Structure 1
Amino acid sequence: MTDGIRFRATTKSDLDACTELLSAAGLPVADVSLERLALIAERDGKACGLIGLESYGPVGLLRSLVIDPSCRNAGLGRRLVSALEQQARSQGIDELWLLTIDADRFFERLGYRREKRDSAPPAIVATGEFSGLCPDDAVLMRKRLAT
């Protein structure tokens, strides 16, 4: 990539940097774990974005998209979502769900659609994000992934 940003799978050594990024953005950190963090974007060895994924068979929960302010407005969020969608497809995930407080318009531009909370599949309802980490007024969204 010409902007010097590269994506890679998160590792245990990334947990502190990921927690810092999430905290700075006001996102939940109570259940941060390597299993929930999928990809990290870095420039010059410094974390500048991340995105998470929880897999539940054919459905997945997109988690914790966050971009450091110094890397915003350059399409990094869109690129991270696209990379995560490719990863999800390779894991056999047919649709991604997410909860957001203020990024619904961003995700709509990427093909996600608003859904009623009672339409979420049981695996998504059972997640900590759905059942308590995100407020009840968070927007639930879904995207069917093309195969």
Structure 2
Amino acid sequence: MGAVIRCALNDDVDNLMTFLERAGLSTDGVEGTIDSFLIMEDEKGNIQATIGIEQFGKVGLLRSLVMTSQTMKNDVYILFEQIFLLASEKGMKDIFMATNKIGAVKLVELLGFQQIKKTELPPVLSQAGHVQHVLTVDNSIFLKISL
């Protein structure tokens, strides 16, 4: 049996937060939004990758994409496919993401994301704490995909 992708549960909070901390990411808000995270784990139950989405009405912001070196390229596509399904089930119509890594931009553009200007962000997103922080990061890029 290979890797399994599933929605995170309350029991996963500590393991997920440890996984994110090891990757150098903030764990702010994870506990309250655990049902908006997907976990990919190996046959032993070890987290191999995760992706989360923060909901703002019909708008979503991708958060906390982390993969280990064992993650395969196809796993990334499956993770995105599954997070899009989760977002759709939660009523989101547009998904945004922010990055300052050119490699990430190229990857997500293959998935259908398009770069947008910071001024094109919906007001509800522009006011979000995480986005406020990203706006201060040099070379930050925002991308959008509509479901």
- TM-score, normalising length from structure 2? 0.85
Q: Does the C-alpha gap of structure 1 residues 114 and 60 become closer, same or farther in structure 2, counting only changes over 3 Å?
A: same
Shift of 1:101: 2.0
User: 2:90, 2:146 → 1: CA distance?
Assistant: 14
Q: Does the C-alpha gap of structure 1 residues 139 and 42 become closer, same or farther in structure 2, counting only changes over 3 Å?
A: same
Shift of 1:17: 2.1
**Residue pair 1:62, 1:96 contacting (<8 A) in 2 also:** yes
Tell me whether 33-42 or 86-95 shows the greater mean CA deviation: 33-42
Deviations 1:26-73 (A, max 9, x none): 32234432415421111121111111111122111111111122x233
Unpaired runs of 5+ residues, structure 1, are none
Q: What is the letter of the counterpart of residue 9 of structure 1? A: C
User: 1:134, 1:18 → 2: CA distance?
Assistant: 26
Unpaired runs of 5+ residues, structure 2, are none
- SS in structure 2 at match of 1:75: helix
Q: Which residue pairs with 1:5 in the alignment?
A: 3
Quick one: percent identity of the two aligned structures? 27
- SS in structure 2 at match of 1:55: strand
Q: Does the C-alpha gap of structure 1 residues 134 and 68 become closer, same or farther in structure 2, counting only changes over 3 Å?
A: farther
Is 2:124 the counterpart of 1:123? yes
